[in-house]
């Protein structure tokens, strides 16, 4: 499956020849940014969102498992998710009385450690999380067994669990509201693909983008929201970005003997994760070993992965799941930041009107409200006002100094 997946990326001519903000990529990150800009009374500029796949059939947003957690190793990432949890569960307050009332299905995340080293990582993370107000608890293997008798915990030394604002949420509905309201408030969306960028003579700014149609559009700022394609987009501006697509596989299955209580999103030491998905269905995810970069258009399923890795790990951890049946399966992409698995956000230090919103490494959906708000603040005021996202800036990339996130799935 290649570029032909999106058969026509020729843009309808835009309403203007230039825009104050051009957003490359209109999935949840680009639409969150457009929405927050349109909501800010101090922003009076024009917005263009360029999306090559307006049906979002191949967007990472559409392939997400749509979960949220506060179990991160840095306080900043905890705060980012806490804002998202508040936003998700109070949509009418943020988006108006017609917005739906959504809930987080709090089956929680359960990290399992089978080595002393990872048990120490969980203990350290729990201290960070509880200091920030999260409800994370550390549990012995026996305490896990007492709460969830279906687990085999013979090899488990420690677990960490939080069932407050951790679990499934309806990310597609929030995305739809971001996009529709941004358009209603004046953000212009077009079907098209950015193919090139032109910097000014001094090299300090991108002055225009060129679409596949040949149209050249002037820009005040360019925001890179192109997900797994982020590095290719950055190269158009002459910028290196350590972000690459990584394939992530998902299966939905039913069990001959369903569990008698909700299954937390369980991060097994094998690297496989699985969780409740419906009343009597479950979801599992994982990746191949090794975990190489992939092509943007590689959505091929590796059917051997289920038989050789995923199902054996599930059945070992939950013997009741020895007899299960796959209902659906699909492949999506992480936009993996290979330096430190953390987001890259904000302006480039030299090409100052090129704004990053990239490298979320699997956390993008849950981080989109805070990232959209933060980037909109930066575009409006030249600074972050609600939550300081500067530790996630490009400067650390240029210096080769990781801002490491240890809690990666």
For the segment 26-57, what is each residue's pLDDT rounded down to a tens digit? 999 999 999 999 999 999 999 999 999 999 99
* Mean pLDDT to the nearest integer, 289-307: 96
* Mean pLDDT to the nearest integer, 153-174: 98
pTM of whole model > 0.85?
A: yes
98-121: pLDDT as tens digits: 999 999 999 999 999 999 999 999
Share of the chain above pLDDT 70, in %: 97
Q: For 155-194, give one letter per residue: b (16+ CB within 10 A) or e.
A: ebbbbbbbbebbbbbbbeebbebbbebbbeeebbbbbbbb
CA distance 109 to 250: 17
Specify whether the CB–CB gap between 282 and 107 falls below 8 A.
Answer: no
- CA end-to-end span of the chain: 26
Checking if the pLDDT of 198 tops 90, the result is yes
* Mean pLDDT to the nearest integer, 249-256: 98
Q: How far is CA 27 from the centre of its chain?
A: 11
List Cβ neighbours of 360 (8 Å cut-off, separation of 6 or more).
Answer: 29, 334, 335, 337, 343, 367
Domains of the chain as residue ranges with CATH: 16-64+171-242+339-399 (3.50.50.60), 105-164+245-335 (3.30.9.10)
* Mean pLDDT to the nearest integer, 288-300: 96
131-154: pLDDT as tens digits: 999 999 999 999 999 999 999 999
**What is the helix (H) or strand (E) element at residue 288, kind and residue range?**
none
Residue 12 DSSP class:
P
In 3D, which of 351, 353, 60, 403 has the Cα closest to residue 229? 60
18-29: pLDDT as tens digits: 999 999 999 999
Residue 38: what pLDDT?
98
In 3D, which of 33, 62, 48 has the Cα closest to residue 192? 48
Checking if the pLDDT of 358 tops 50, the result is yes
Checking if the pLDDT of 11 tops 80, the result is no
Q: What's the pLDDT band for 7 if we cut at 50, 70, 90? A: very low
CA distance 190 to 307: 42
Average pLDDT, the chain: 95
Tokens 């939080």 sit on residue: 162
CA distance 182 to 177: 8
Burial label, 270 (beta-carbon count in 10 A; 0-12, 13-18, 19+) = middle
Specify whether the CB–CB gap between 109 and 71 falls below 8 A.
Answer: yes
Residue 12: what pLDDT?
65
Checking if the pLDDT of 408 tops 90, the result is no
Phi-psi bin for 108: left (phi > 0), alpha (psi -120 to 50), beta? left
Residue 8: what pLDDT?
45
């Amino acid at each position: 499956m290649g570029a032909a997946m999106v058969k026509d990326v020729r843009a309808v001519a835009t309403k203007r020849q230039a825009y104050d903000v051009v957003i490359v990529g209109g999935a949840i990150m680009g639409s969150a940014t457009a929405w927050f800009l349109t909501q800010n009374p101090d922003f009076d500029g024009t917005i263009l969102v360029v999306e090559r796949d307006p049906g979002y059939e191949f967007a990472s947003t559409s392939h997400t498992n749509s979960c949220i957690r506060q179990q991160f190793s840095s306080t900043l990432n905890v705060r980012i998710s806490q804002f998202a949890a508040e936003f998700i569960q109070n949509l009418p307050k943020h988006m108006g009385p017609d917005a739906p009332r959504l809930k987080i299905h709090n089956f929680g995340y359960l990290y399992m450690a089978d080595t002393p080293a990872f048990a120490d990582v969980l203990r350290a993370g729990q201290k960070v999380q509880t200091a920030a107000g999260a409800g994370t608890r550390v549990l012995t293997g026996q305490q896990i067994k007492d709460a969830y008798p279906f687990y085999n915990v013979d090899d488990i030394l420690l677990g960490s669990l939080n069932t407050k604002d951790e679990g499934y949420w309806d990310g597609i509905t929030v995305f739809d509201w971001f996009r529709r309201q941004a358009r209603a408030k004046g953000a212009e969306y077009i079907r098209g693909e950015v193919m090139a960028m032109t910097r000014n003579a001094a090299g300090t700014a991108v002055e225009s983008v060129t679409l596949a149609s040949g149209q050249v559009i002037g820009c005040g700022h360019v925001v890179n929201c192109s997900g797994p394609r982020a590095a290719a987009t950055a190269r158009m501006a002459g910028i290196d970005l350590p972000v690459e697509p990584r394939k992530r596989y998902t299966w939905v299955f039913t069990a001959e003997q369903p569990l008698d209580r909700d299954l937390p999103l369980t991060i097994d030491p094998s690297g496989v994760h699985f969780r409740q998905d419906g009343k009597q269905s479950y979801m599992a995810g994982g990746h191949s070993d090794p975990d190489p970069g992939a092509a943007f258009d590689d959505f091929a399923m590796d059917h051997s992965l289920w038989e050789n890795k995923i199902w054996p790990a599930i059945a070992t951890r939950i013997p009741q799941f020895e007899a299960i049946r796959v209902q659906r399966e699909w492949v999506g992409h992480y936009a993996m930041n290979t330096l430190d698995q953390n987001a890259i956000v904000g302006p480039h230090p030299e090409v100052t009107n090129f704004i990053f919103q990239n490298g979320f490494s699997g956390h993008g959906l849950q981080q989109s409200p805070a990232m959209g708000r933060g980037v909109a603040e930066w575009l409006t005021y030249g600074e972050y006002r609600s939550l300081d996202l500067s530790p996630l800036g490009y400067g650390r990339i240029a210096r080769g100094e990781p801002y490491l996130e240890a809690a990666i799935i």
